[in-house]
Amino acid sequence: MNSTNDAVEQVTLYEKWRKIYPLSLYGGWQRWRRVVLSFLVGIYYAGPWLRLDGDPMFWFNLPERKFVFFGVTFFPQEFVLLSWILMMAAFLLFTVTVLAGRVFCGWACPQTVWTLVYFFIEQKVEGERNQRLRLDRGPWNRNRIVRKGIKYILWAGVAFSISFTFVAYFDTPQVLIERILTLSLAGWEWFWLLFLAGASFLFSGVLREQVCFHMCPYARFQSVMFDRDTLIISYDENRGEPRGHRPRRHLEDSPRGGDCVDCKLCVHACPTGIDIRDGLQYQCIACAACIDACNGIMEQLGQAPNLIRYSSQHRDKGEEVTWKRPRLFGYAAVLMAICSGFVFMLTNRVPLELDIIRDRGRLYREHWDGSVENTYQLKIINREETVRQYTLTAEADFPFELKTRKGELVEVQPGKQLTMIADLVAMTDPEQPANRPVHFIVETVGEPHFIVREPSRFLQPSEPRE
């Protein structure tokens, strides 16, 4: 430093949390946004109660290891389908991000959905923005204690309803209600009910935008997917600048010229507390609250709307919008390929499965007459919603005898699996290798007809017994 009078700038690595008090808006975009978010909330709450032919439409039955999705039963062996669903969701998000920016964050993200629910309660109990500001800055008097208490009680009710509904996807709501009323919940059920309720209360009710700022990874890496034609919320600097306060009667002849009157309603309306006029920021969730706030002011001033609007970097600079977007078509192509593969796997899905486990205690058993016995544990899984009968046979390139304790015709209940023991007995053949292939075949009796053929091995001594 050249002078002792030079100012010393202090840079803090952590910004103190300041609570944001967003305005309540009822403009065009916010009206549609509330419709979309209400629809999503309705689907979430209705899911555990939906029935198809008397059975749950959505049910993740962990004790019985079966998962019902749109009335179709899946088993853990089909978890590869879950990986395909996750890949489709990821590339769908990538494609939408390149095309429309962060509309998922502002219009469909669960954090945004539940934050709006908690904020709606806060607004109804504590009042509009200025009332909430005065309440929080005032003393802890009776009015503040009562309002805060009512708000937190209602928040707790919402949080418990969220956790109850989530657990109900794993344990049907009727059974869950009965267990809660009789205080007979299992330990894991109590844990998830209380843990999820507390997490929802904290993240969506208290922390709100801090989750988007510091916990959500999508806010950090979404910018690498943007191109210059990605839909963003943008402030028209050419039209709005220079900004400044001035009476309405002087708008036309004002020497400042800009349409922005610096009312800061766009800042007060933003749920993350940013100023969109500073340019594109990672905190923006594309909720369009600033658009509705600014359009309301422009309407009052008799000016054209959309000083703040959905736009793109090319549009902002008056450049031609192009559809030659390699990133968009690349993500879309991968998404279509994954969707096609998933549809193929789903349409060719056979609602019958056979698992074979060899006897791990002994590789084979030798009998006095020179024969060898191999023991297998077979699991026949019926993925259909009706009782089915199956025939069990085996194939090999050597003579053998198949023995089962349940016979060759078995019956399996819908959505269940049948475990049975099967023995293959064959004479020892020194001319054959010690490890020979064998196939077990399960076929349905009646229509629709399905057949499953699974390989295994038949073992014998490498040398003939003396």
109, amino acid identity = C
Distance CA 177, CA 183 (A): 10
Distance CA 258, CA 117 (A): 37
Within 10 angstroms of residue 244's Cβ, the number of other Cβ atoms is: 12
Q: Specify whether the CB–CB gap between 232 and 313 falls below 8 A.
A: yes
Within 10 angstroms of residue 233's Cβ, the number of other Cβ atoms is: 25
Q: Which residues of the chain have pLDDT under 70?
A: 1-15, 246-257, 463-466
Distance CA 74, CA 383 (A): 7
The H or E element that residue 84 is part of is helix 80-100
CATH architecture, range 352-459: Sandwich (2.60)
Determine the length of the chain.
Answer: 466
Domain ranges for the chain: 16-349, 352-459
Q: Specify whether the CB–CB gap between 72 and 345 falls below 8 A.
A: no
- Apex CA 211: angle with CA 327 and CA 189, to 5°? 110
Token pair for residue 234?
Answer: 């943008």
Residue with structure tokens 């040398």?
Answer: 463
Task: Report how far apart the first and last C-alpha atoms of the chain are (Å, whole number).
Answer: 99
The H or E element that residue 196 is part of is helix 187-200
Cis peptide before 242 (omega within 30 of 0): yes
